[in-house]
Each structure stands twice: as structure tokens, then as C-alpha cells.
Structure 1
Amino acid sequence: MSRTVGIGNQDFSVIRTNNYFYIDKTGFIKEWWDSGDHVTLITRPRRFGKTLTMSMTEQFFSVHYAGRGDLFEGLEIWKGERYREIQGTYPTISLTFANVKEPNFEMTKQRINQILTDLYNENIFLLDGSLLTDQEKEYFKSVRPDMDEVTATMAIHKMSDFLSRYYRKRVIILLDEYDTPMQEAYVSGYWNELVTFTRSMFNAAFKTNPYLERAIMTGITRISKESIFSDLNNLKVVTTTTDKYEDSFGFTEKEVYEALEEYGLYGQKHKVKRWYDGFTFGKTKDIYNPWSIINYLDEKKTGAYWANTSSNGMIGKVIREGSSRVKEEFESLLAGESIVTEIDEEIVYNQLGQKENAIWSLMLASGYLKVKRYEAGGDEHGGRWRETYELELTNFEVKIMFQNMVQDWFAASSSSYNDFLKALLSRDVEAMNVYMNRVALTTFSYFDTGGSASRESEPERFYHGFVLGLMVELSDKYILTSNRESGFGRYDVMLEPKRDDLDAIILEFKVFNPRKESNLEETVEAALEQIKRKQYSASLAAKGIPEKSIRQYGFAFRGKQVLIGQGDCPE
């Protein structure tokens, strides 16, 4: 009989006590302990078992779980007597920032202060007796939701001191989802304030802390050393490209196939592989997203389970507001192609809008991209060392997620956007103009960064995003290809029909140039002339599409104003 799948359970003891579905990952404890690393930062995509791993690690080491070896009986870690002897013997501080998702710095600070206050309330027994001096007791009582920043940034350090004296043993600190507040700070615009606060806290907790035995931090990204880890030279960083703990997070293909067999779903393994396989950690490939797998075992049908567990707000923001080149490469990814770029695993959030490869680094760390090929080296004359990655979308589930994200870009004008598509398919140029102008008016500024982008680049950001929308919305009817140039050059789009009853469509986008044109009508004519001069229809005709079935449109942009004109087509 198959085990019950307990969806959403991240408490190790609950899963073990109730015999819920669980794949043994306790080998991580042995590997980590044997490494001797003082402070370990492990980055993995969301919903990859980080929180459950931290719960497992806490309940193995914490003195609060002394005598609870039953939780680990029959698992890998319990095979070694040496490890059985240390179970439940360390004072442990376990914190999570997973729910710190506030819109401004003050609220974020209050939320972190509350987490620290809860930590002190859990250890209120330390105020009894003479372990703490009167001054230390005053500090203890000063840890409150409204405490000042100095008190807050020292709170973990001071609790380490108190607990190590009480138990006469240095402490283990576990901090889950350390970077969640940082991501929210980037999206909401209070990055610099939070960096200063966090850097002080982490320095006190993990660097200048003589009461620390070992520590683990988990997160999605490796935030740059210069941002918050500048003083932590004792930090061991384990990213998705690192060999350590390769199979400790996520499910291997062998583990997935065994689970499918247990639940009578082995015959669906090829469908499951297409949807959920594709992650690579270190040199280990064919890692599956555990959240989607356990939901599939429970529901017994495929779905975008992992993709739908968060808003993906930061990813959506950096792509939507990204340069034309970013959108072009994203277009290639959605089309099933790959991109080649350099990757810097130290994410510099305030560079996401400036350095294009920072976006792909973020998407790789977040699990949305996988490495197809990797090359490293410098030239023979000692040139700059380069690490080049060929990247592609991780799997079908990720593709579905991004298609939904692009659709959401036009949610505010969904009625006008859908009406535009209907008008395009039905050859109604007048309606196309009406609805396209409504779409542009509503969503134009949505594609702007609100800061560094120049006014001239705004139309380009918009129509690159618009092309992605066409690609997603018309994917069942057309194959979209584009022949583009960066800057204000051409961006022609070809829609090749998948059915014989549909026309082929060529779209040419141009921004009004007052040095060359006196009005938008002339810009439209220039766009249509370029279609004709460049013979864009030739490739479609070569595929057997009759010339009378190839429609041509010129799109002229001036600010939020759009004019669309149709070229002559032989009847």
C-alpha cells in the first residue's frame, strides 16, 4: 500500500511520525558534518526541499530533540554509530525569513524584529537564575518588535552567547530563505537600506561569533559578497553548479521512478520526465522538482504545480523591464532555442537592470534555466578567463509558467488585447488601430524601468514585449519568427500559419523619426516599403504559401500613439 502524500508538510517530525511519503535525504547531515565547513550557504530553487532539510537538520542536532532517535531510525544517517551519538546534543538556533515579504524597509525590519523576539521568547527560561548578569537580562528584555537596529543586529549573536553558556556547548545556527527579504527589497525599491541592516546582522551572527559551532544558510540566490557578505571570509558557498550536496535537494530520476511505481504511475514516466525533469546540480543531471512530483503523486495528473506556487514577481520584472536584447533572447528561449552567455553566480541585484547576464544568472539560480553546455578558459596570451554557458528553459512546466507570465503583462488591457488579435486575424485594419492604441495607452509604461531607460527606448521595450505576447497567444495557430536588429532598426515579425485556412502575416515595427518623416503615415509607408524592399515574403513563398495569402502590416510608434497600415497584396 502506498504512503499518504502530505502536501505542504515541511516539518520532518510530522512527516516521519505519520509515515507520509518521504525520500531519504539524511545523507546530507553526514556529508555536511564531515565537511567541517564553519558557515555554509546553500542555494537551490524554491520548493526544492530546503526548508524540510533545515527541519531535518535541526531535529537531528537540537537539544530539544534529545532522545528522538526514532525519527531517524531506518534512514541513512542512523547507520553510523558516530552520528547516533551526537543526535540531540547541540543548542540550536533555527530561523526562517521565508515570510518576510514586506513592501517597505520599516515593515521588513519590524517583521525580522518579531522573528528575533519569538526566538527570545522561546528561550525565556534563560532569565531565571544567575546565568545572565543584570545588564544582560536588560538586553534580553529589550529584544522587542520595536527595538532599535543596533539591538536587532546583535540579537542572534547574543542569544548564541547565552545558549552556549547554559548548555556549555557552542551553538548551531540555521537560517532558512535568507534572501527572501532581499528579493522583496529589490522589487519594492528599498535595497540599500536593507543591505546595511542585513550586513551588520550577518557579520555579528556568522563572522564575529565565538559561540558558533556551525551554521547553514539557505536561499535561492547567492547575493554578491560586496552586498552583504563582505566580512564573511569563512563562508562556504554551494550553488547549483557546485558538486557538493548534488542529490540532497530535489529528486533523482531513480527516486522519481521508484515513487511512480509505488503509486501505480510508472507508465506515465515519460510524461512526468517532459514536465518536471531538467534540473542539474553540479555534475548530477535529471533532477526533478520535488514539489511538482509529490503533487503529481497526489493528483495523478500533470500541472504547473511548482510554477504556480509564487508570483515570480522579480523574474517577471527584470524580463519585462529588460532591454530589447533581453526580450529577444527570452523570445528564443520560449521558442525552444538556447542562448549563450557568461554567468556570474554572485547576484548583484542593483545591476539586474544594467547587466544582461545578471538576469540569466538569476534565472539559472532560480531554476528556470538549465545548463546545456559549459565552456571555460582564456586565450593563450593570458586573456580574461571566461566561463560561457549555453542555457535553455528547464522543462515544459517552466515554459507554461513563462507563457502565463507574458499573458499577465497585458492583463490590464486584456479585453482590448484580445480584440486586437481578433481584428488581426480577421483583416480589420481599422479595428486593429483602435485596439492597439488602447493596449499601448494602458501598458506602455509597464515595460519601462521607470528610471534608466531613455524616452526614445520606451517604444522599443514595449513592442518587443508585444511580440512576445503575440508569440504566446498565437502559438496554436502560428509559428512566429523574427528578423531583428537592436537599436531603432527593423524588428520584422513573420507569422507562419500552421493551418491552410490561415494567412501568413508580416509585421514591421518602426519608431517615428522626425528627421525623416513628417507624420506617422510616412512612418507606416517606410515600414511597408522596407518589407517590400527586403523581400521579407520570399521565405514564406518558398514554403509554398501563395502570395495572395501573405499579409503585410506596418506599425508606426510615436510615444504611446500607434498607427497601423496594410500593404498591398495581390488578390
Structure 2
Amino acid sequence: MIGDVKMKSCKQIAREWNLSERTINDLCKKGKISGAIKSGRRWQIPDNAVRPVDGRVSNRRYIKKKDTCEKKSLPIGISDYVRAQSEYYYVDKTMMIKEFLDRKPLVSLFTRPRRFGKTLNMDMLRVFFEISEDDTSRYFKDKAIWKCGEEYQSHQGQYPVIFLTFKDVKFDTWEATIGKIRGLVQEEYGRHQEIIDSDKISAYEKKYFEKMLDGTANEVELTSALDKLSKMLDAYYGKAPVIIIDEYDTPIQEGYAKDFYEEIIGFMRNFFSGAFKDNKNLSFGFLTGILRIAQESIFSGLNNLTVNSVMDDEYDRYFGFTSEEVETMLGYYGVPEKKAELAEWYDGYLFGNEEIYNPWSVINYISRDCKPQAYWVNTGKNEILDDVLKNAIDDISESLYSLLQGKRVIAKIDQNVVYRSLAEDPANIYSLLLVAGYLKTPQKELQADGSYLCEVSIPNKEIAAVYKSEILSHLLQVGAITRTTANKIAESLYANDFVKLEHAIGEYIDEAISFYDAGAEGFYHGLVLGLIAMMDNQYKIKSNRESGDGRYDICMFPRGERYPGIIMELKWKKNLGKDALDKLADEALAQISDRRCDVQMARDGIKNILKIGIAFSGKSVCVESENGNISI
């Protein structure tokens, strides 16, 4: 106390202003806190001091305000809530807490694509609810949730919390996977070591606790880890804990891809059953993941589970960025004019009724001088899309290529889809692609069985880019053939060298067919569309449209005068010899002229038109044009 003024330490002020103690010391040294005095080696600050908000000093000296102010960095890869909201630009998602407390489901599962803020939101819930020696309310006092009043503030810091994130449990074997899970459980038990010496915990429970701390628990003992820890925390604190499991299905996806699916499913079923099924030592439970996985009975009998998926209106604003949040961010960083480009690349997701931007891509775009790239798709493997391509039947392959052309496809969406259901029913492809972030649903209609009948489409340019790269690499096996064939096609288009173009297409088809078992005409149609979809910078690509007196198979409208228009007619028959195959290619070529399929191009002023008839039989192909034929 100095005179009538109560003084505080730098540490106390740092907590109140949500700044570091070092920053407060620095502000005092620079004279930016009015009334601050140094007592010995420490600064004393008036209780009523005002936090500086700009470049002006507050000790009666005036310094001209700088024209530019330092902007907070964007939280790329930051999933620590305390750090994200204090050191970085933070998009306030704390109203998720209010929505949850208004509904109060016992166990909530949130399914969203990867990199959409699930881990950061779960850590936010942990910091809000968890009992702590520190006053963690300071991390929320300037957030939207605090303005909601005492009803919500009263829950802050009142619960023991068990928190596990499986986002990094990505291993090739079951042994490595269970070893990693054992390590995560060991760390979480270590966070609660304060309870081990309590007389509220029985001797056998302490022995179990020590096994977890030592990392010596076997697989069976591990399955009870959440159940037993929640019971001990309830006994110690006199309040049932909150259990948070982040990215619960990451090891399940790895198990599917690496052939230990049955082991991980069996373990998770018991692990989660103890935590969430009939657990009287539970206040609330939260889980996040990509898939619901209900068919695997991981949550068998868990009738208190509330699922919140990309199809549901609840919590639709809290994973990813809304349009308003993106506009505010662009304004803060001084690039509001980039809104249209950013939307074209990273907008387009629909969660419930809310239009959502990919948060990972948005913050990378802004932090890298607004250069549009496929940021999200380069953050990890796209196993789901790879599995889709492996299991795609003819009509689904053609639909995938139609999506690349900007079309909408009608699909049934089952939210209970699981990874291995692809082999059972390839139509589940669309459900997997939707929940994984590769599709959006502009139109949806709920069916009596709980599924949805939807129109699906590609959300934005970024996702179109990954479809292209994955489809091309898959069909051509990502080798020298991919680069060579692509280069030949690009060169032939640039030079208007039709013969070279024919050779390149023939080479592509030869290599692609040698990889797949030969199929029907729809298969070949999809195969050719897969190649030319990569050329949409040069062409507008259309298929199965009316023109003249009939319908063409594939039509490529040039975007520049240097490129020819291209019309392809495809035909297929079984067991043809070379002569019969040549004749079938001639028929395909003749059909283009007979049915005047070039009428639309001619009306558009395209004078240079390449007509190509392509005939298939098994692994043989003949490409016929007005310049001659190529048989392979």
C-alpha cells in the first residue's frame, strides 16, 4: 500500500491482464504502466492501473504512436488451449461450453474431419472444467462464455478431468499400438498422483495405480484404466470426473489399414465400456473422432451417448471457422480483399446448416502471405481416399470423376459406416468421404431408417486438388509412367501435335489397364475421365451430354485458343482380335461425325477439333483418329 493506493506485484497483474510476468516487467521498464514504481528489485503496480492497449506510454510522456502494430501469430499446430488463447490469434469457441451445459448429455461424441479443431476444443473443455491449484478462470474471463453469467461460471474449475488424445497413435503393428496406449494411460495417471497417498483410496486400488505408473499393466488390466481411475478420482475429490477422449478412432483406422483391426476393436470395446457404460463415477463424457463406428459395437449398450456429426445442427459452429470469423480474421491481418479467393479454396463445408471453412487451411493461407495451396491435404496420408479407389466399382468410379467436373451425385449417407464396410458395400464410399471431409451435402433428406439421401459434391478447390492427385497416382501407380505420360500429354496439347497426343493416351490406357482387371465400358469411361480430369486447367470437361443428333461420351472444351477441342467416343466388347478391335474403333470415330457430336463446339467457335474413337477389349485398346490409328 502506498498512500491510499493498493499496490500489486507483476505476477498478480500478469494474471489479471492475461500476459506473461516478463511482459509486465518490460512494460514497467518502458514506462508504459502509469504509477508503476520499483521497490528494490521488483516493480509495484497500482491496483487501478490500466492495461496499455497501443504504442503510447502512460507516464505523462508522449511518444508518437507507431503506424503499424504487431499482430499475433496464427496457431498453426497449436492444440494447447491456454497457449493458443494467450499467445496466438484465437477464434473464440467457448460458447460450445454454454451449448453443452444447456443440453447436459451424459456422453457426447463429436465426429468431424481431421484438422478441424477437435483437439483444441477438447483441451478447452479440460481447462474449463478441471480442478486446478491455479486460477484457470483467467483464461475465460475475456471470452464469450464468461459473459453468460454465474450459471455457467459456477462450473469452471469444479471437476477432476481424465484426458486422453489418440491423435498420434499411428503404428504399423498391434504391439506398438498397445504400447503407445499404455504410455498415454501412464502419463494420465501421472497427472493425478496426488490421490495415491490418500486414505480415501484402498490398498488394492493403490497397487493398481502403481502398475499404471510403472507402465507394467498388461492388456487386460489396461482395459479397466478409465473405469478405475474415475472411481478413485470420485472418492478423492467427492465429485465424479469428466472423461475426455480425443480422436478415439485414429488407432482403429490404423488397425484397418495395417491388419490388426480385430485386436484394436476388441480392446476399445472394453476400454470405453468401463468409462462410459453404467459408470456412476462420471459427470460428463466427451469423445471426438472422424467416424461413429456404431456397427462395431464399441459403444454397445451405451444408451446415454449423444452423437453430433457433420449432418447435425447442434454444435455446428464450433469446429472450423464460420464466414463471420474468417472476415474478422482477414480484417485483423489487413487482407479483407482476399475473402473471395480464400472462400473458393477453403470454404464450402456444411456442418448442420452452417457453412464452414477449413481452419487449418485458412490459418496457413493467411500466415503464408495468402498463397492458395492444398495445405490440409498435405498434413497426412489420405488412406480413406486410397481405400475408396481400391474398392470403387465401375459406376462409382465414374461418379468420382463426375464430381471432379463440378457435378453433384446422388448418394445415400449412412452415419454408422465403418472402414471395413467398403468391402461389404462399395456404396458406403460416399459416407466415408463425407465424414472425412472430402465431400459436402448441398441437399439432404432424412430417411426413415436414419440414413440420409443426399446430393453430394466436392467442397472447394483444395479438395478437388487431392482428388486429382490421388486418382492420378492411384491409376498410374505413382511412377515414372505418371510423369512421362502427363508430360507427353501436356507437350502434345501445347504443340497441337495430335499424333503425339494419341500415343500418350494409348500409353496411359495400356499401363492403366495392365494394373486393373479389365471391366465393362463404364470402367474404361471412368479410366479415361480419370486422366483428362487432371487437365482441367486447359479444358472444361463434360461427359454424357447431348450434342447434334446424339450423346457424346467425353467432350473437352479448350480454355485457350492454342488447344484443340477434343471429342472422344468409347466402345467395348469382349474377346476381340486385332482386326475386330480396329473396326470397333472405326465405328466409334464414325459415330462422332454421324451424330454430329461436334455441333456444340462449332457453335462455340472452336474450329480445331480432334475426334478420337477408342475401342477396348480386355487389356487391348485401339485409338482411332482422323490421322490414323494406334493399336496396343
Q: For 2:502 and 2:261, locate their aligned partners in 1 and report how far apart those are by CA, in whole Å.
A: 46
Indicate the residue corresponding to 1:480 in structure 2: 541
How far apart in 2 are the matches of 1:254 and 1:91?
Answer: 35
SS of 2:306 mapped into structure 1: strand
Structure 1 residues 423 and 270, CA gap change in structure 2 (3 angstroms)? closer
Residue aligning to 1:551:
611
Shift of 1:512: 6.0
Report deviation, 1:243.
Answer: 1.6
Cα pair 1:307 1:397 within 8 Å, conserved: yes
Aligned to 2:162: 93
- Once residues 91 and 371 of structure 1 are traced to their aligned partners in structure 2, the CA distance between those partners, rounded to angstroms, is 39
Query: Take 2:116 and 2:103, find their aligned partners in 1: how far apart are those partners?
Result: 22
Q: Which residue matches 1:153?
A: 223
Cα offset for 1:94?
A: 0.6
Which of 551, 561, 585 lines up with 1:527 in the alignment? 585
Pick aligned residue for 2:183 from 114, 132, 135: 114
Which gives a bigger RCO, structure 1 or 2 (Cα 8 Å, sep 6+)?
Answer: 1
Match runs of 1:36-435 below 5 Å: 36-64=104-132, 66-79=134-147, 80-143=149-212, 147-284=217-354, 286-301=355-370, 302-376=372-446, 387-409=452-474, 410=476, 411-412=478-479, 413-418=481-486, 421=489, 425=493, 426=497, 427-428=499-500, 431-432=503-504, 435=507
Kindly tell me: are residues 17 and 480 of structure 1, through their superposed partners in 2, closer, same or farther at Cα, counting changes over 3 Å? closer
Distance 1:209 1:444, change over 3 A: same
**How far is 1:34 from its partner?**
2.4
Deviates more, 1:288-297 or 1:134-143: 134-143
Of the structure 1 ranges 135-144 and 340-349, higher mean CA displacement relative to structure 2 is found in 135-144
Q: Percent identity?
A: 32
Q: Distance in 1 between matches of 2:227 and 2:451?
A: 40
| Residues 281, 422 of structure 1: alpha-carbon distance in 2 compared, 3 angstrom cutoff | closer
| Residue deviations 1:416-471 (CA, integer Å, cap 9, x gap) | 42355268653148954884477337x715xxxxxxxxx55499757734531221
SS at match of 1:342: strand
- Which string of whole-angstrom CA distances, capped at 9 and with x for unpartnered residues, describes residues 235-259 of structure 1? 0011112121121222221121111
- The answer (yes or no) to whether the contact 1:371–1:389 under 8 Å persists in 2 is yes
Amino acid corresponding to residue 100 of structure 2 in structure 1: W
**Alpha-carbon distance, 1:396 to partner:** 2.0
Q: 2:565 and 2:252 mapped to 1: Cα distance?
A: 46
TM-score of the superposition, structure 2-length normalised?
A: 0.78
CA distance in 2, matches of 1:145, 1:444: 47
Q: Which amino acid aligns with 2:251?
A: P
Q: Alignment partner for residue 440 of structure 1, among 512, 515, 518? A: 512
Separation in structure 2 between the aligned mates of residue 30 and residue 548 of structure 1, nearest angstrom: 63
Aligned length: 542
Report the alpha carbon displacement of residue 82 of structure 1 after superposing the two structures with TM: 2.9
CA distance in 2, matches of 1:205, 1:402: 39
2:265–2:298 contact (8 Å) kept in structure 1: yes
Once residues 557 and 261 of structure 2 are traced to their aligned partners in structure 1, the CA distance between those partners, rounded to angstroms, is 44
Mapped partners of 2:524, 2:258: distance in 1: 22
User: In the TM superposition, what is the alpha-carbon distance from 1:338 to its structure 2 partner?
Assistant: 0.7
Of 2, 13, 30, which residue of structure 1 is paired with 2:98? 30
Mapped to 2, the partners of 1:41 and 1:389 lie a distance apart of: 23
Contact 1:521 1:563 in 2 (8 A): no
The CA distance in 1 between the partners of 2:127 and 2:92, in whole Å, is: 15
Q: Aligned partner of 2:268: which letter? A: T
Aligned pairs for 1:429-508 within 5 A? 431-432=503-504, 435-436=507-508, 439-440=511-512, 444-445=515-516, 455=517, 457=519, 464-472=526-534, 474-483=535-544, 492-508=553-569
- Give CA deviations for 1:8-33 in whole Å, capped at 9, x if unaligned: 21111112332x20121111112112
Residues 154-204 of structure 1: CA distance to partner in whole angstroms, max 9, x if unpaired?
111111111111112101000111111122222233323322221111111
Kindly tell me: are residues 187 and 555 of structure 1, through their superposed partners in 2, closer, same or farther at Cα, counting changes over 3 Å? farther
Which structure has the larger Rg? 2
| 8 Å Cα contact 2:415/2:451 also seen in 1 | no
Unpaired runs of at least 5, structure 1: 379-383, 446-454, 485-489
Contact 1:528 1:552 in 2 (8 A): no
Change (3 A) 1:461 1:192: farther
Aligned-partner SS, 1:174: strand
Change (3 A) 1:48 1:547: closer
Q: CA deviation at 1:566?
A: 2.1
Partner Cα separation in structure 2 for residue 551 and residue 175 of structure 1: 58
Give the whole-Å Cα distance in 1 for the aligned partners of 2:267 and 2:116: 28
Query: In structure 1, the residue corresponding to 2:72 is in which secondary structure?
Result: coil
Structure 1 pair 478–528 and aligned structure 2 pair: CA distance change class (3 A): farther
Is 2:555–2:567's contact at 8 Å kept on the other side of the alignment?
yes
Write the letter of the residue equivalent to 1:477.
Q
Once the two structures are TM-superposed, the CA of residue 57 in structure 1 deviates from its matched residue by 0.7
The structure-2 alpha-carbon separation of the partners of 1:105 and 1:528, relative to structure 1 and needing over 3 Å to count, comes to farther
CA–CA distance in structure 1, aligned partners of residues 306 and 530 of structure 2: 40
Amino acid at match of 1:231: G
1:434, 1:554 → 2: CA distance? Answer: 9
Structure 1 pair 431–275 and aligned structure 2 pair: CA distance change class (3 A):
closer
| Aligned partner of residue 240 in structure 1, secondary structure | coil
User: In the alignment, residue 464 of structure 1 is paired with which amino acid?
Assistant: G
Q: Which residue of 2 aligns with 1:452?
A: none
CA apart distance, 1:299: 2.0
Structure 2 unmatched ranges of 5 or more:
1-68, 546-550
* CA deviation map 1:207-239 (0-9, x unaligned): 132211100001122222444222211100111
Q: How far does residue 64 in structure 1 lie from its aligned partner after superposition?
A: 2.9
Q: What is aligned with 2:81? A: 12
Post-superposition offset of 1:41: 0.3
Contact 1:322-1:461 within 8 A present in 2 as well = no
Q: Give SS of 2:156's match.
A: coil
